[in-house]
Amino acid sequence: MKKGRDNVELVCSVAELGSLFTQTHSLDQFLDRVVDTVARHMRVPVCSIYLYDDDKQELVLRSTRGLSPESVGSVRLRIGEGITGTALKELRPIRECRASTNPNFKFFAGIGEEKYEAFLAVPIVRGLRKIGVLVVQHRACGYFDETDATALRAISSQLAGAIENTKLFLDLTDKAAPPAPKDKEHDLGTSLLIKGIPGSRGFACGQVAFYGILSREEGLLAAAQDGESDLTIGDFERALQETEKELETLQAAMERQALDLQASLIFNAHLLMLKDPSFSNPIRERIESGHPVGAAVLEVVSQFVSVFKSSANPRLREKVQDVNDLGHRLLRNLTPGHDEVHDYRRRIVVAGQLLPSDMLKISTQKAAGLIIAEGSFTAHISILARSLDIPLVVAKDSRLFQLSEREILLIDAGQGTIYVNPDKTVTDHYDSLAAARRQRPAQAFDSGAGSELHTADQVRIRVFANINLISEIALARELGAEGIGLYRSEFPFLVRNDFPQEEEQYRIYKKIIEEMEGRDVVFRTLDVGGDKMLSYFPTVNEANPFLGLRAIRFSLQYKEIFRQQLNALLRAGGDRENPPGIMFPMISSVDDFLQVRSIVGECREKLLAAGKIRDSRQPRLGIMIELPAAVELAGELARVADFLCLGTNDLVQYMLAADRTNPDISHYYAPHHPAVLRALHRVTAAARAEDTPLSICGEIANQANLVPFLIGIGIRDFSLDPHGIPHFREIVRELRAEQAEKDAARLLRLATLREVEKTLLA
């Protein structure tokens, strides 16, 4: 019996609705349109959407067709309550011929539900996040069949993303103000919500600025091209000098901020060009032959841009942004009455792709926040944003590039949301969050940060910090890090324009060891390649950089660079009471490690012979377990190495063949995948069997719902982003390791993602 319903058509039209969402300004209207469309196609008198309120842990009826309008906002169900609450709890569709006979049925007086006995509820979830429940009802008992359940499930999964956006926004406005009466729609004015991917943490609000685009500031361009302007060549010379001073100031500020970069002239491409007569002379010539000053600058900058853009040398192509930026500064300094502040100060910077050195430049200029089109939470550009403490959202949305520089953006980096021209409700909400944070900084969460960490049943857990820049060390110590579990040594290489030599590296490593005052420190050798290309190094053009010359493969290919780094590390740690560990990324075989170990041995012998180190102790050498091959060989690797470290950011990507930086397939990048969980367990068991110390340093340790599993399988040493430490400590203190072990054993028996999600969400 199909009663004339066309489920296929319904699925398609709802997909269209999903895309319509991105253009609508009214969220309630969007939900209303969903329930109307589903009701119309399924020929049902009642269709409703319940959204899950994470704070109150209850479902709230947010939109309905067929039930009384007063029920919206007032019908609330706890998880597991009623048929609807049970569908979300058990994460399965529930279909009833006669709803009132279901033991979970919950009667609500006055909403007009009693007439509709046939009931179908389908949970709306995204990954591990509960979003809500979609419900349809009909008078005729047994109206819904299996195909309806399948269709409604397909619809709910298609709509999950769009509904989640809606939910986030409604949650926000609900918290800031009482819910608006149903018949009055939220008036968002010209505001717009764009959903992206979280890149770091925090939130920020400011005017838009575009990175690497000459200028979108209408006033600036108009002034530049104004034939009537009375600017002279003297003004140009003055602007040139001001720009030079400005860049030198930025360079100094950057060095203060990032001590590991002291010898690097991050802004040198700008400065060199500025001082180069082949850049400034053509501008002078044009001015002298009668061109307006601004126009002369624009023309020459554009010429340089097109030469750089078409260069075969990738290093030159990367400089296009710098040239544009330079042009922008010159024009700004030519504009009468320009303000003294740097271009990106307090701005939300929108960019396509960013190099780490670009991000450093933007952060030095005190930008409030960043939006980039390419990336993900575990992409290294996001890791750097977290180190620099700059809010970052990843969003590929062409509307962002159509904004004018007068428009305001508010970004919430933790949620991955962008509000364009946010209304007062939104800004008030974030103002109050900011005020609360000022009163209670992250440090205050953990008054016992200095004490040893134990689970509730007294199992000792050690927590270390992942450090990318020296500037993070103080915070890591303050937040209770017992040492450094992962120092990503490539960051000083990445964010600068030139190769740090052995001496410079030595100074950086020594400083890190000194700042940690005898605590454990583990350095990881250079992990470049993949999404971390050195812009100044002649790189191969690889079709699959993550499968290419990356990490230890790069070091083994360029052994001189590797030896320089090892020498610097051995010298920095050589005479210490507690010498640092050195670990190697992307080891794929025992052979890799043996080769690396023998190179370390050679370096050590030479340093000893030259009297550069005196200590005869062997350094502790570790292996990062990041490849499926390393999981398979975990026992053998544990036997040859002094310690192992699980690098789950990569392990997940390589086990699941899901690029960690590609937002389009981020749903395949699932750290809770049963295969990943089993791999983690195998490695932990293998390390234990060999009595080899093991730690974990991937982002997985920041996922609150997976920490019990990790402790349950026996991991005791964790290394994470310093900002994540207070929350991690809180979770550990409340957890019982004995129970976690039993729960982990149960989780390891599950075969599907769905079952794992259901268990983790329960």
Catalytic residues: 380, 697
- Counting every residue written for the chain, the total comes to 762
The binder of 251, among ligand PEP, Mg ion, none, by C-beta within 5 to 8 A per type, is: none
Nearer to ligand PEP, 250 or 552 (CB): 552
How big is the site for ligand PEP, counted in residues (CB under 6 A)?
10
Nearer to Mg ion, 321 or 653 (CB): 653
Instruction: For residue 157, give the 3-state DSSP assignment.
Output: helix
Identify the burial level of 57 via C-beta atoms within 10 angstroms of its C-beta, where 0-12 means exposed, 13-18 middle and 19 or more buried.
Answer: exposed
Please, where are the H alpha helices in 373-501?
380-387, 398-401, 424-439, 473-478, 491-494
**Which letter does DSSP use for residue 367 in this model?**
-
CB under 6 A: which stretch of 187-195, 347-355, 631-639, 648-656 binds ligand PEP?
648-656
Q: Which residue among 365, 417, 505, 648 contacts ligand PEP (CB under 6 A)? A: 648
CB of residue 662 to ligand PEP, shortest distance in Å: 15
Instruction: For residue 24, give the 3-state DSSP assignment.
Output: coil
The binder of 697, among ligand PEP, Mg ion, none, by C-beta within 5 to 8 A per type, is: ligand PEP
CB of residue 645 to ligand PEP, shortest distance in Å: 8
What is the rounded distance in angstroms from the CA atom of residue 91 to the CA atom of residue 125?
8
CB under 5 A: which stretch of 490-498, 644-652, 710-718, 741-749 binds Mg ion?
644-652
Residue with tokens 């960019």: 351
CB of residue 472 to ligand PEP, shortest distance in Å: 14
What is the rounded distance in angstroms from the CA atom of residue 688 to the CA atom of residue 694?
8
Nearer to ligand PEP, 527 or 690 (CB): 527
CB of residue 391 to ligand PEP, shortest distance in Å: 20
Q: Which residues contact 668 (CB under 8 A, 6 or more apart)?
A: 656, 657, 658
Nearer to ligand PEP, 553 or 733 (CB): 553
Nearer to ligand PEP, 239 or 381 (CB): 381
CB of residue 647 to Mg ion, shortest distance in Å: 4
CB of residue 149 to ligand PEP, shortest distance in Å: 39
CB of residue 439 to ligand PEP, shortest distance in Å: 33
Q: Which residue among 482, 650, 717, 743 contacts Mg ion (CB under 5 A)? A: 650
CB of residue 470 to ligand PEP, shortest distance in Å: 17
User: Over the Cα atoms of the chain, what is R_g?
Assistant: 29
Closest CA to 92 of 104, 107, 101, 110: 104
Nearer to ligand PEP, 332 or 681 (CB): 681
Nearer to Mg ion, 352 or 628 (CB): 628
- In the shown chain, the binding pattern of residues 654 to 693 toward ligand PEP, with x for contact by CB under 6 A and - for none, equals ----------------------------------------
Phi, psi of 584 (to 5 degrees): -120, 130
Instruction: For residue 13, give the 3-state DSSP assignment.
Output: helix
What is the rounded distance in angstroms from the CA atom of residue 24 to the CA atom of residue 34?
13
- In the shown chain, the binding pattern of residues 22 to 61 toward Mg ion, with x for contact by CB under 5 A and - for none, equals ----------------------------------------
200 binds ligand PEP (CB under 6 A): no
The binder of 488, among ligand PEP, Mg ion, none, by C-beta within 5 to 8 A per type, is: ligand PEP
| Contact by Cβ (8 Å): 491, 524 | no
- β-pair partners for 581: 522, 620
How big is the site for Mg ion, counted in residues (CB under 5 A)?
2
What is the rounded distance in angstroms from the CA atom of residue 410 to the CA atom of residue 747?
39
Q: Which residue among 84, 280, 649, 695 contacts ligand PEP (CB under 6 A)? A: 649
Q: Which residue among 132, 327, 369, 647 contacts Mg ion (CB under 5 A)? A: 647
What is the rounded distance in angstroms from the CA atom of residue 6 to the CA atom of residue 93?
19
Q: Which helix (H) or strand (E) holds 556?
A: helix 552-557
* E-state strands within 18-101: 46-53, 58-65, 76-78, 94-96
CB of residue 25 to ligand PEP, shortest distance in Å: 38
| Contact by Cβ (8 Å): 501, 567 | no
Nearer to ligand PEP, 497 or 648 (CB): 648
647 binds ligand PEP (CB under 6 A): yes
Q: Which residue among 482, 650, 743, 757 contacts ligand PEP (CB under 6 A)? A: 650
Site for ligand PEP in 612-641 (CB under 6 A): 626
Nearer to Mg ion, 89 or 660 (CB): 660
CB of residue 730 to ligand PEP, shortest distance in Å: 22
Using CA atoms in the order 407, 413, 415, 416, what is the torsion angle rounded to 10 degrees?
A: 60
Neighbours of 55 (CB within 10 A): 8
What is the rounded distance in angstroms from the CA atom of residue 100 to the CA atom of residue 97?
9
18 binds ligand PEP (CB under 6 A): no
CB under 6 A: which stretch of 9-17, 557-565, 612-620, 647-655 binds ligand PEP?
647-655
Nearer to ligand PEP, 508 or 697 (CB): 697
Please, where are the H alpha helices in 310-389?
314-317, 320-334, 356-364, 380-387
User: In the complex, which residue's CB is closest to Mg ion?
Assistant: 650
Identify the burial level of 228 via C-beta atoms within 10 angstroms of its C-beta, where 0-12 means exposed, 13-18 middle and 19 or more buried.
Answer: exposed
What is the rounded distance in angstroms from the CA atom of residue 498 to the CA atom of residue 516?
27
Q: Which residues contact 415 (CB under 8 A, 6 or more apart)?
A: 168, 198
- In the shown chain, the binding pattern of residues 470 to 489 toward ligand PEP, with x for contact by CB under 6 A and - for none, equals ----------------x-x-
Which amino acid, residue 609? A
CB of residue 376 to ligand PEP, shortest distance in Å: 11
Nearer to Mg ion, 209 or 528 (CB): 528
Site for ligand PEP in 522-541 (CB under 6 A): 527
Instruction: For residue 511, give the 3-state DSSP assignment.
Output: helix
Closest CA to 261 of 363, 174, 395: 363
698 binds ligand PEP (CB under 6 A): yes
What is the rounded distance in angstroms from the CA atom of residue 226 to the CA atom of residue 744?
70
Q: Which residues bind Mg ion (CB under 5 A)?
A: 647, 650
Binding stretches for ligand PEP (CB under 6 A): 486, 488, 527, 626, 647-650, 697-698
